[in-house]
Structure 1
Amino acid sequence: MTAKPTVPFSEPGWLTGLPSPIFADSHRRWQAAIRPFIDTHLHQHAITWEKAETLPPHVFSDFAAANMLIPALPAPLPVTWLKRLGIHTLLGGLKVEDFDSLHGVIFADEMARSGLAGPPGSLTTGMAFGVPPIVKFGSEVLQERVLPALLKGEKRSCIAITEPDAGSDVAGITTTAVRSGCGGFWIVNGTKKWITNGIWTDYATMAVRTGPPDSGAAGLSLLVVPLMHQPGVTMRRLKVAGQVSAGTTYIELDDVKVPLENLIGEEGMGMRYIMTNFNHERLFIAVGVTRQARVALAAAFEYVLKREAFGKPLVEQPVVRHRLARAGALLEGQSAWVEQFGFLMTRMEKSEADRELGGMTGLLKAQAGIVLKECADTAVLLFGGNGYTRSGQGELVEMLHREVPGARIPGGSEDVMMDLAVRQLVKLYKAKTKALEASSKL
């Protein structure tokens, strides 16, 4: 039986029947197992929930009950912890110890298939970005207190780094944490802004300044700060253009008491921990944004196949085909790059990947936003007035176009990521050159 053809650009090649040197049978089984669940529990309601600006509470619980928040964590998963909690397998029978970075790439891709970042972001952002530093660097005491509830989805997390005057410039953070007179608490004061998921978060993995005001990156630490119903914490939602249902939040902290043992790892090591976490965050973002670009371009392609103008379908107009081709070339190149990153991370040790791929992960994330802009622009222009209308057949395209800035700014703004990539490449090149010169003198 011949498989039903897919709209051009609607799926990566490996999901259209083409052979792949990257994805193995376990990856194909995983994708086939999770797509129906995500479609049923998320995507078929995504537009409605995004317009309502909030997902119903049961959605988070449904995903948690099915262990469908766990795959947002970086590979390898915290197997010992998961098995302690009775979590031995994920959907489709995938053993938690067999979960690799490509399984994670597939999960992030499938979660973004509605084209909207808000609904999936409202579910996974805390697990993807807030929990990993606790898993990697948290003390045994801290992990025992917070990880069981976070991993089981009984409590929610977020990552709280950005401030009104410190976005991509993490070293400029001014929120302070000082020891109390009794020595048993950190007293936290400051503000955090544009914090995804913050409004319904129990624990924030928060960047704070424990060193002097002029200590820069060396004075930063990471702290698990209780938020929900915590004295001294005030939160309000921010109105943003896209990803509305993800719960972007402004947080004010006024003499908030945090147990001393809530420090993640060592004092003054916050910047190092943040940078380690950024690699997973930026790859996760890049995968989702690349799928958003695919949704936009596929919608445009499907539309021009049926829409007629000047007496013939739009797709018969050379200028239309040229626009689709230009966007499609960018998209497929980006998609292949994302897959390559996932593959490399299954073959490299974490420390090696952090060193060799850190700068390029920032570039991957930046390029994803550029590709989304091209595909979203193409979709709006080809949909014409329908793509500029917040209802009807161009509704999703119009919503997607508003999400472009949300892909190009969070997780490190585009220009900063490009500069970071080149600086990291130069640094790496010089280090390797110096090492080679030293070895030649032996």
Structure 2
Amino acid sequence: MAENSPNPVPFSEPPYLRGLPSPYHTEKHRAFQKRCRAFAWENLIRHALEWEREGTVPEHVFQTFCKHNMLLPNLPAPLPVDWLKRLGIRDILGVKVEEWDHMYTGIYCDEMARSGLSGPGGSMNAGFAFGIPPIIKFGSKQLQERFLPDLLTGKKRSCIAITEPEAGSDVANITTTATKSPDGKHYIVNGTKKWITNGIWSDYTTMAVRTGGPGAAGLSVLVVPLKGNPGVNMRRLKVAGQITGGTTYIELDDVKVPVENLVGREGEGMRIIMTNFNHERLVITVGVVRQARVALSAAFSYCLKREAFGKKLMDQPVVRHRLAKAGAELETLHAWVEQILYQLCHLSKEEADRQLGGLTAMAKAKAGMVLNECAQCAVLLFGGNGFTQTGQGELAEAILRDVPGIRIPGGSEDVLLDLSVRQLVKIYQAQEKKLSQSSKI
């Protein structure tokens, strides 16, 4: 079987790639998928496990992806068409930038995760997926002119820095401060940021800081220079999974940042961060579904070949039962994610944030649970091989180590489950109020 062909092993591919009808994917989507798979395989997927073992994806990979505009799909759809065309960027592997929609985003994120590992793809995408979007959506024209040309073309790298040692999902309690200098020309930034993906390689970060009093109302967002900037100290953190993601600890000691680097206005930080989270959670979820596919299909393939107690593992009812339970969870999640992607194609950004923000948080939380189920299933069925960081079960073992890196970042699982229901209650209350008012007319 060619490496770029659909994998025939059950659970290994989404339904539309198994030849089943799809109401969501057009011929243009399918054509892009083929080109995207070929590009990702050649430049990332076939080396991913090797690079994960080594702990770092070579720098030239980032440059190759940028040269072919293949990190731009990490931006929220629709893409910033005017900016891209100003920079001479008119298509992404043959898809016109003005035609890019969320279904293309879903295809791209799925293909980028086809190694089963989130680290190698994550080593490149944090800036485009999380760091640049706030500048595009909320940045002043002057701020955009200063930063977007280099960031969108990959001449400079960026990341997003929200999490702190004492403030992860509890964003409102961020303690990193940004105080204006006596002459009013700079913010002086002090504090620490932790678990910052790609931070170690980034020239800039879109950073959440406290410019005002306590709570959410005191938060703002700044573009903070990192590499080589006085007062900035960075070191990589050793983490259990996503080894190649460049997880970084950042210390900021009287770091001078021009006041012009403010994104939006002072006090708007919480709104900017929350809006950005919807996209972050969506792209994480799509990649996680593919990781779960890789884990479960690897176990399925192994069970078709491995013999124990005088028969193939697949001939054992208990094995089939375990595969079926995990597979049902996986396919259910995939159908839900496709539905969300399609809905995003047909809603305004404001309406999508309102209607789908809570559901996207719920889907991201569910994705972590499903990946855990599929990865544990794979490791258990691989047996001793699944407990070994080499050999047949190496990939399943690595995917299981990735699971906490899905269930915690982007809003930890329990926080997102609570958030999702609170959002649904808000929507219900608004609709109930509207119905009540209309009935009085």
SS at match of 1:393: coil
Encode CA deviations 1:343-395: one digit per residue, 9 max, x unaligned.
00001111000000111110000000000000001000000000000101111
Matched, 1:48 2:47: no
Q: Aligned residue for 1:254?
A: 253
C-alpha deviation, 1:203, in angstroms: 0.8
SS at match of 2:438: helix
Matched, 1:183 2:184: yes
C-alpha deviation, 1:61, in angstroms: 0.3
Q: Aligned residue for 1:288?
A: 287
Letter of the 2:150 counterpart: A
Q: Aligned residue for 2:277?
A: 278
Matched, 1:425 2:427: no
> How far apart, in 2, do the equivalents of 1:228 and 1:440 lie?
60
- Of 38, 51, 54, 2:40 maps to 38
Query: TM-score by structure 1 length?
Result: 0.98
SS at match of 2:222: strand
Matches within 5 A, 1:63-102: 63-91=65-93, 93-102=94-103
Residue 5 and residue 211 in structure 1: after superposition, are their counterparts in 2 closer, same or farther (change >3 A)?
Answer: closer
Matches within 5 A, 1:327-406: 327-406=326-405
Letter of the 1:426 counterpart: V
Kindly report structure 1 stretches of 4+ aligned residues shifted beyond 3 Å.
none
> How far apart, in 1, do the equivalents of 2:102 and 2:264 lie?
25
Q: Aligned residue for 1:115?
A: 116
Encode CA deviations 1:132-154: one digit per residue, 9 max, x unaligned.
00000100111000000000011
Contact 2:6 2:18 in 1 (8 A): no
C-alpha deviation, 1:26, in angstroms: 1.5
> How far apart, in 1, do the equivalents of 2:284 and 2:395 lie?
20
> How far apart, in 2, do the equivalents of 1:229 and 1:437 lie?
59
> How far apart, in 1, do the equivalents of 2:431 and 2:211 lie?
34
SS at match of 1:234: strand
C-alpha deviation, 1:4, in angstroms: 7.7
Q: Aligned residue for 2:138?
A: 137
Contact 2:6 2:17 in 1 (8 A): no
SS at match of 1:188: strand
SS at match of 1:392: coil
Matches within 5 A, 1:194-213: 194-212=195-213
Letter of the 1:329 counterpart: A
Encode CA deviations 1:53-93: one digit per residue, 9 max, x unaligned.
111110000000010010010100000000000000110x1
SS at match of 1:167: coil
Q: Aligned residue for 2:105?
A: 104
Residue 85 and residue 5 in structure 1: after superposition, are their counterparts in 2 closer, same or farther (change >3 A)?
Answer: closer
C-alpha deviation, 1:438, in angstroms: 1.7
SS at match of 2:182: coil
C-alpha deviation, 1:440, in angstroms: 2.2
C-alpha deviation, 1:5, in angstroms: 6.7
Matches within 5 A, 1:164-175: 164-175=165-176
C-alpha deviation, 1:172, in angstroms: 0.5
Q: What is the total number of aligned residue pairs between the two structures?
A: 437
Letter of the 2:307 counterpart: E
Contact 2:7 2:13 in 1 (8 A): no
Contact 2:296 2:377 in 1 (8 A): yes
Q: Aligned residue for 1:219?
A: 218
SS at match of 2:166: coil
Letter of the 1:178 counterpart: T
Contact 2:202 2:227 in 1 (8 A): yes
Query: TM-score by structure 2 length?
Result: 0.98
Letter of the 1:78 counterpart: P
Q: Aligned residue for 2:147?
A: 146
SS at match of 1:199: helix
Matches within 5 A, 1:291-330: 291-330=290-329
C-alpha deviation, 1:250, in angstroms: 0.4
C-alpha deviation, 1:217, in angstroms: 0.4
C-alpha deviation, 1:414, in angstroms: 0.5
> How far apart, in 1, do the equivalents of 2:55 and 2:203 lie?
20
Matched, 1:163 2:181: no
Letter of the 2:31 counterpart: R
Matched, 1:26 2:28: yes
SS at match of 1:49: helix
> How far apart, in 2, do the equivalents of 1:43 and 1:4 lie?
15
Consecutive unaligned residues of structure 2, counting only runs of 5 or more, are: none
> How far apart, in 1, do the equivalents of 2:223 and 2:7 lie?
49
> How far apart, in 2, do the equivalents of 1:440 and 1:234 lie?
61
Residue 4 and residue 61 in structure 1: after superposition, are their counterparts in 2 closer, same or farther (change >3 A)?
Answer: closer
Letter of the 1:103 counterpart: Y
C-alpha deviation, 1:439, in angstroms: 2.3
Letter of the 2:252 counterpart: L
C-alpha deviation, 1:22, in angstroms: 1.0
> How far apart, in 1, do the equivalents of 2:223 and 2:66 lie?
21
Encode CA deviations 1:300-345: one digit per residue, 9 max, x unaligned.
0000000011111100000000000000000000011111110000
SS at match of 1:86: coil
Contact 2:222 2:262 in 1 (8 A): yes
> How far apart, in 2, do the equivalents of 1:200 and 1:396 lie?
26
Q: Aligned residue for 2:232?
A: 233
> How far apart, in 2, do the equivalents of 1:437 and 1:273 lie?
32
